[in-house]
Chains A and B, each alone.
Chain A
Amino acid sequence: MKATNTNDPEYFHKVVDCQYACPAHTPVPEYIRLIAAGRYTDAYMVNWESNVFPGILGRTCDRPCEPVCRRARVDEEAVAICRLKRVAADNKDDVAHLLPRAPAVGNNKRIALIGAGPASLTVARDLAPLGYQIDLYDDQPLGGGFMRSQIPIFRLPPEVLDEEVNFILNMGIKQHFQTYVSSLKSILEQGYHAVFVGTGAPRGSDLDIPGREACGASIHVGIDWLASVAFEHVAKIGKRVLVLGGGNTAMDCCRTARRVGGEDVKVVVRSEFSRMKASPWEIEDAVAEDIPIINNHVPKEFVHEDGVLKGMRFTVVDVVYDARGKRELVPTGEEVFFEADEVIIAIGQDNSFPWIERDLGIEFGKWDMPAVDKTTFQSSLKKVFFGGDAAFGPENIITAVAHGHQAAISIDLYLNGQRVEKRPAPGVNLVSQKMGVHEWSYDSEVSMDDRYPVPHVAKEKALLDRKVEVELGFDPAVAYQEAERCLNCDVQTVFTTAKCIECDGCVDICPTDCINFITNNDEPELRQSLRRPARNEDQDLYVSSTLAQTQRVMVKDENVCLHCGLCAERCPTGAWDMQRFFYSVTKAGGSCKQSSQSMTSS
C-alpha cells in the first residue's frame, strides 16, 4: 500500500467517526470535552457554529453519529452524543453577545427564503451576518417549520425552539409569516437576487382503501394532525386510536394521541419490526407509554356503520425474502379486526411544488422533483436554490442544516460572481497534546462505564399533559460521567516514520492490538496478515512509509483504536504523538472568519 497521506484533511476526519457521519460535521469530541470541563457555553457555541440548533437537536436529532460511534465497537453502547449536546444547551450562559450580527450597512443584495424551517433558517444565519437582506416567508404564524408543527411539544418545549429560532430572526431578518407563497413567479418578480426554497416535504401520504371516504372525519393524515395539535386546532381524540405506519411520525402520533384522550392506542405496521424506519429510542419511548406495536399487518379496509368508523380490518402477512434479497409480504390467510374511534395515517410524506410555475426555467425530473445539484444546491434556474427536504425528499433536521450551510455558500459565491462549483476547503488544525511524562492535555484515561440512561419524567405525569417534556436531560454530574466515555477520536495517533527505532514498544502496549510492523503488501493481503485481521473495511489502514532498519512499514488498523495514547506514552523517540485534529466545514463568507472561530474553542 502507498503511505497514508495525512496531509489530506479527510484522512483524519474519517477517523472521527461521529463527526464524519454528521451531515453538518459537528466537531463532536471537541464539544464533549468542553462539557466534561463544565464549559457549557463554549460547548454550545462549537455546536451552534456547526449545527445552528443545539438545544433542538440535543432533543430531536436522528443521531447519525451514534450508530457509528467507535465506542460501540469495543463496548456495548455508543456515547450518548445527542443527549450530551442538550446538556450544553441546558446549562449555557447568555450567548447573545457571542452571536454574529448583521452589519450596520448591508450589501444591497436581497434574498428570499421560502419556508421557515431549519434549512432556510440556516441560510439566513449564514448570510445575514454578511450583509444580505433576507426576506423569510412561511404560512405558519411562527418560525421553525416542521420543527414546530411536527415535533410534539413533549419532546421539544417551545422555549427551546423559540430561543434558537429567534437567535436567527433577530439578525434583522424580514419576516413574512402567515404568508402562503402561491407563486414562485411572483417572488422572482420582486427582484430578489437569489431565492432559496426550503419548503420541506409537506404532503402526508394517504391510504386509498375501502371506507376511506365514508369515514373521512375520523381519519387523519399524520403530519397534518400533528400540526393541528401543535397549533391547538385539535385538543382531543377518541379513546381507541389506530396509528398506521412505522416511522418516527407514527411514533409522534401515537404518543400525542395518548396525551389527548387516546386510551387504547395501537401502532400497526405493514412490515416486520426490524425493518421499521423509526429510531429505536423513539420506538422504546412509545412502547414505554403502553402502546403496542403490531407488525406484519397490512391495512385492508376501514369498517364503518353509516359513516361512523368502527375499526379496521388487516391482512396478516409473512415477510419472505427471495434469493436476491427482495422482500415480499405474503398473506397468511388470516384477517384481523381492530376496533377504533379514530385512525391516524403516518405512512410517509412527499414533496409538493404546486406553487412553482413550470415555465420559469426550473427543470423537474423524476417524481416531479426539481433537478438540484447535490453539491451546490443550485437549480437549473441559476438564482434559485433548494435545500432541506425540498431538495431531495424527506430526511431530517441535521441534514437540512447541512444543506442550508452549503446553499448559503453557493448563494454567496453566485452573488459575488464566483463559480459555485469551487467549494471552500475545510478549516483544519492539528496540535500535539503532549504536556509532559504521562501528561496529555486531554483526558486520555478510558472510562469503563456503561452508557448512562437519560432520566424520564414519571409516565403518569407525562401522559396527563402533552406539554410536559418527557426527557429530563442529564444533570451536570451524570453528564460528566457520560462525557468521559468519549474516546476522543479527534486526538489522532500521528506517526513519524523517520523517528521510529522499531523497538515494538507501541505494539506491546496497545490494548486493542491495532499496531503492526510488517512487510508491505497490497491492501487486501495486508488486512489479512495483521495481528488482528482488519475485517472492518469501512475503517482505513494507516500505513507509514518504509522504515529504515527493516524495510517494513507500520500499519495501524484504525478500527478499534481507543485513542488512549499508550503508543505515544511508550514511544521512546516521539515517533508516535497524540495530536488534536480540529476540522470545521467552512461556511459562507470565507475561510479567515472560520479559522478564528475554531481558535476560540481550543
Chain B
Amino acid sequence: MTYVKPSFRHPEAPINELGRSRQDYEGGLSTLCAGCGHDSISAAIIDACFELNIEPHKVAKLSGIGCSSKTPAYFLSGSHSFNSVHGRMPSVATGANLANRDLIYIGISGDGDTASIGLGQFAHVVRRNLNMTYIVENNGCYGLTKGQDSATMDTGTPNKKGDINMYSPIDLARLAIEIGATFVGRSFSGDKQQLVPLIKAAISHRGFALLDVVSPCVTFNNHSESTKSYEYVRGANTGMPVDFVPMRQEITATYDSGATCEVCMHDGSVVRLYKQDNDYDIEDRQSALEATSHFKKEGKILTGLLYIQRDSEELHDVLGTARRPLNSMTERQLCPGSRFLDSINAGLR
C-alpha cells in the first residue's frame, strides 16, 4: 500500500515574490474521499496564498468539526492551525484575532458546522465584523456521518437513499448579508477561475469575509436529483467572473461586457467583477438580496462577489484595542499593576 505524494514538481513551476514555490503552501495528502470538492477548495487556497505572496507563518487556519474542518491539514502546513470544537470555530478565531491582529485568519467550516450546530456563533462573528476569511464548504449533507441531510439542503430534494427533505434551507450568504457582513461571496469548488480570485479578495478585505462555496460530496450527495452535485451546479451556476488585481500592478485586461465594476480594496488592490445585470449594485444589501433571490427562483445559483461594504469598522476598531499584538508587548504593558486596575474599577462605580 503506497499513498505518498512525490516531492518532484514541474521543473518550470513558478516562484513567487518571496522566492517560494507553490509546494511551500501545500499540506499533507488528503484523506477525504476521492473527488471531494473540498480538495479543490484547498488547492484554491494554496493558489491564492502563493499568488498573494503571503508568508505561510503569517496565516492562522481555524476549523470546527466535519469533513471540511479536516481540510486545514491539507494546505499551508507551515501555518498556525487550530482544529476546534464543533460549531465553535468563530469563538476561537475571535480570541486568536484579538490576541494577535497581525495574522491572516482563514476559517474553514462546513454546512453542518456553520448552519446547524454553529449557527449562533456564526451569526455573532458576522455581526462583530471580525477580520477573517470564513469559508463554508457547502455540500448539503453530513458527509462525515454517512450523508444525513444538512440545513442547507434544498426543500423537496432527496438524499442518496431517496428520502425527501421537508425543511426549508438556510442560505448562509443571504443570512450574512442580512445581519451585517461586509464581504459575501458565493462560488463553486469546480470553478477555480472564479474561486481563486475570490479567496484573494476575501483575504484582502478588512473585516469579515464569508465565502459560501458549493462543494459536492461525491460519496453521498452527487446523485442525479441533488442540487449540490457537480452536474447540477455546473448547469445552474450563473457565474459572475472575478478578477483580483494586486496592489502595484497595472490594470491591463479589457473585457467586452458592459456590466463591470471595480472595487478598490483597503490594501490598494482592486477587485473587478463582471455582473450579470447592470442594475445590480454589489455595495447595496437590498440589491444583493434581490439578485440572489431572483436567480434562485429561476433555478440558478448566482456566484461571484455578491456584496461588499468598502469601509467598515472591524472588531478591533470597535473595541479600540491596542495596535500591536499581545505577544509583542512586555509583561509590564500587559499587566500594568493594581494601580491601573483600581482606576478601571473606580471608573465603573
List chain A positions with a Cβ less than 8 A from chain B: 73-75, 438-440, 443-446, 448, 501-505, 507-509, 511-514, 532-533, 535, 549-550, 560, 562, 564, 566, 569-573
The answer to the question of B56 belonging to the interface, with a C-beta cut-off of 8 Å to chain A, is no
A75: chain B residues at CB < 8 Å are: 8
> In the complex, what distance in Å separates the CA atom of A549 from the CA atom of B230?
9
> In the complex, what distance in Å separates the CA atom of A345 from the CA atom of B152?
85
A511 with B35, Cβ < 8 A, contacts A501-B230, A503-B190, A532-B13 known: no
Contact between B2 and A438, CB atoms less than 8 A apart? yes
List residues 9-40 of chain B with CB under 8 A from any CB of chain A: 9-13, 30, 33-37, 39-40
B3: chain A residues at CB < 8 Å are: 438, 569
Contact between B216 and A503, CB atoms less than 8 A apart? yes
Contact between B34 and A74, CB atoms less than 8 A apart? no
> In the complex, what distance in Å separates the CA atom of A505 from the CA atom of B42?
11
Provide a sorted-by-A list of 30 A–B residue pairs whose CB atoms are within 8 angstroms. Answer: A73-B11, A75-B8, A438-B1, A446-B4, A501-B231, A502-B190, A503-B40, A503-B230, A504-B40, A504-B43, A504-B189, A504-B192, A505-B34, A508-B39, A511-B5, A511-B8, A512-B8, A513-B10, A533-B12, A549-B235, A550-B234, A564-B5, A564-B6, A566-B5, A569-B3, A570-B34, A571-B35, A572-B33, A572-B218, A572-B219
B6 touches which of A513, A535, A562 (Cβ 8 Å): A562
> In the complex, what distance in Å separates the CA atom of A505 from the CA atom of B40?
7
A503 with B35, Cβ < 8 A, contacts A444-B2, A511-B5, A564-B6 known: yes
B219: chain A residues at CB < 8 Å are: 572
Contact between A569 and B39, CB atoms less than 8 A apart? no
Contact between B2 and A445, CB atoms less than 8 A apart? yes
> In the complex, what distance in Å separates the CA atom of A504 from the CA atom of B192?
10
> In the complex, what distance in Å separates the CA atom of A570 from the CA atom of B29?
11
**In this complex, what residue of A is CB-closest to B6?**
A446
> In the complex, what distance in Å separates the CA atom of A546 from the CA atom of B8?
30
- Most chain B CB inside 10 Å of its own CB: which residue of A438, A511, A549, A573: A511
**In this complex, what residue of A is CB-closest to B219?**
A572
The answer to the question of B187 belonging to the interface, with a C-beta cut-off of 8 Å to chain A, is no
Contact between A502 and B43, CB atoms less than 8 A apart? no
B192: chain A residues at CB < 8 Å are: 504
User: B31: shortest Cβ distance to chain A, in Å?
Assistant: 11
Contact between A501 and B35, CB atoms less than 8 A apart? yes
Contact between B7 and A448, CB atoms less than 8 A apart? yes
Contact between B34 and A572, CB atoms less than 8 A apart? yes
Contact between B1 and A439, CB atoms less than 8 A apart? yes
The answer to the question of B222 belonging to the interface, with a C-beta cut-off of 8 Å to chain A, is yes
A502: chain B residues at CB < 8 Å are: 190, 230, 234
> In the complex, what distance in Å separates the CA atom of A445 from the CA atom of B6?
7
- Most chain B CB inside 10 Å of its own CB: which residue of A448, A503, A514: A503
> In the complex, what distance in Å separates the CA atom of A434 from the CA atom of B193?
33
User: B194: shortest Cβ distance to chain A, in Å?
Assistant: 13
- Most chain A CB inside 10 Å of its own CB: which residue of B4, B33, B219: B4
User: A79: shortest Cβ distance to chain B, in Å?
Assistant: 14
**In this complex, what residue of A is CB-closest to B4?**
A445
A-B pairs, 5 with minimum CB distance? A572-B35, A446-B6, A508-B43, A445-B2, A503-B35
User: B320: shortest Cβ distance to chain A, in Å?
Assistant: 43
> In the complex, what distance in Å separates the CA atom of A511 from the CA atom of B8?
7
List residues 32-78 of chain B with CB under 8 A from any CB of chain A: 33-37, 39-40, 42-43
B10 touches which of A504, A508, A532, A550 (Cβ 8 Å): A532
B13 touches which of A446, A513, A550, A573 (Cβ 8 Å): A513
> In the complex, what distance in Å separates the CA atom of A507 from the CA atom of B193?
13
A532: chain B residues at CB < 8 Å are: 10, 12-13
Contact between B231 and A74, CB atoms less than 8 A apart? no
Contact between A511 and B6, CB atoms less than 8 A apart? yes
**In this complex, what residue of B is CB-closest to A571?**
B34
- Most chain A CB inside 10 Å of its own CB: which residue of B6, B12, B30, B40: B6
List residues 242-279 of chain B with CB under 8 A from any CB of chain A: none
A562: chain B residues at CB < 8 Å are: 6, 8
User: A218: shortest Cβ distance to chain B, in Å?
Assistant: 52
Contact between B230 and A560, CB atoms less than 8 A apart? no
> In the complex, what distance in Å separates the CA atom of A573 from the CA atom of B34?
9
User: B137: shortest Cβ distance to chain A, in Å?
Assistant: 14
Contact between B10 and A440, CB atoms less than 8 A apart? no
> In the complex, what distance in Å separates the CA atom of A439 from the CA atom of B3?
8
A443 with B2, Cβ < 8 A, contacts A502-B190, A511-B8, A513-B13 known: yes
Given contacts A501-B35, A504-B189, A573-B35, 4 further A-B contacts (CB under 8 A): A445-B6, A503-B37, A570-B30, A570-B35
B11 touches which of A74, A445, A505, A572 (Cβ 8 Å): A74
Contact between A508 and B35, CB atoms less than 8 A apart? no
> In the complex, what distance in Å separates the CA atom of A440 from the CA atom of B222?
27
List residues 74-97 of chain B with CB under 8 A from any CB of chain A: none
**In this complex, what residue of B is CB-closest to A550?**
B234
A440 touches which of B2, B7, B8 (Cβ 8 Å): B2
User: B159: shortest Cβ distance to chain A, in Å?
Assistant: 18
User: A348: shortest Cβ distance to chain B, in Å?
Assistant: 37
B13: chain A residues at CB < 8 Å are: 513, 532
User: B43: shortest Cβ distance to chain A, in Å?
Assistant: 4
A511: chain B residues at CB < 8 Å are: 5-9
**In this complex, what residue of B is CB-closest to A447?**
B6
B7: chain A residues at CB < 8 Å are: 448, 511
A564: chain B residues at CB < 8 Å are: 5-6
User: A507: shortest Cβ distance to chain B, in Å?
Assistant: 8
> In the complex, what distance in Å separates the CA atom of A505 from the CA atom of B234?
16
- Most chain A CB inside 10 Å of its own CB: which residue of B1, B10, B13: B10
List residues 189-221 of chain B with CB under 8 A from any CB of chain A: 189-190, 192, 216, 218-219
A505 with B35, Cβ < 8 A, contacts A445-B2, A550-B234 known: yes
**In this complex, what residue of B is CB-closest to A570?**
B34
> In the complex, what distance in Å separates the CA atom of A515 from the CA atom of B121?
40
> In the complex, what distance in Å separates the CA atom of A569 from the CA atom of B219?
15
A503: chain B residues at CB < 8 Å are: 35-37, 40, 190, 216, 218, 230
User: A519: shortest Cβ distance to chain B, in Å?
Assistant: 11
- Most chain B CB inside 10 Å of its own CB: which residue of A501, A507, A512: A501
User: A527: shortest Cβ distance to chain B, in Å?
Assistant: 13
Contact between A512 and B10, CB atoms less than 8 A apart? yes
> In the complex, what distance in Å separates the CA atom of A505 from the CA atom of B6?
16
User: B182: shortest Cβ distance to chain A, in Å?
Assistant: 30
B190 touches which of A440, A445, A504, A535 (Cβ 8 Å): A504
User: B216: shortest Cβ distance to chain A, in Å?
Assistant: 7
A509: chain B residues at CB < 8 Å are: 5, 30, 39
**In this complex, what residue of B is CB-closest to A549?**
B234
Contact between A501 and B218, CB atoms less than 8 A apart? yes
User: A450: shortest Cβ distance to chain B, in Å?
Assistant: 13
**In this complex, what residue of A is CB-closest to B233?**
A549
User: B29: shortest Cβ distance to chain A, in Å?
Assistant: 8
A508: chain B residues at CB < 8 Å are: 39-40, 42-43
A535: chain B residues at CB < 8 Å are: 12
User: A341: shortest Cβ distance to chain B, in Å?
Assistant: 50
> In the complex, what distance in Å separates the CA atom of A73 from the CA atom of B43?
25
> In the complex, what distance in Å separates the CA atom of A142 from the CA atom of B13?
56
User: B181: shortest Cβ distance to chain A, in Å?
Assistant: 28
Contact between A505 and B39, CB atoms less than 8 A apart? yes
**In this complex, what residue of B is CB-closest to A74?**
B8
**In this complex, what residue of A is CB-closest to B218?**
A572
B11: chain A residues at CB < 8 Å are: 73-74, 560
A444: chain B residues at CB < 8 Å are: 2
> In the complex, what distance in Å separates the CA atom of A440 from the CA atom of B6?
16
A560: chain B residues at CB < 8 Å are: 8, 10-11
A569: chain B residues at CB < 8 Å are: 3, 34
User: B224: shortest Cβ distance to chain A, in Å?
Assistant: 12
A446: chain B residues at CB < 8 Å are: 4, 6, 8
Contact between B2 and A448, CB atoms less than 8 A apart? no
User: B41: shortest Cβ distance to chain A, in Å?
Assistant: 9
B37: chain A residues at CB < 8 Å are: 503
> In the complex, what distance in Å separates the CA atom of A444 from the CA atom of B2?
7
> In the complex, what distance in Å separates the CA atom of A448 from the CA atom of B5?
11
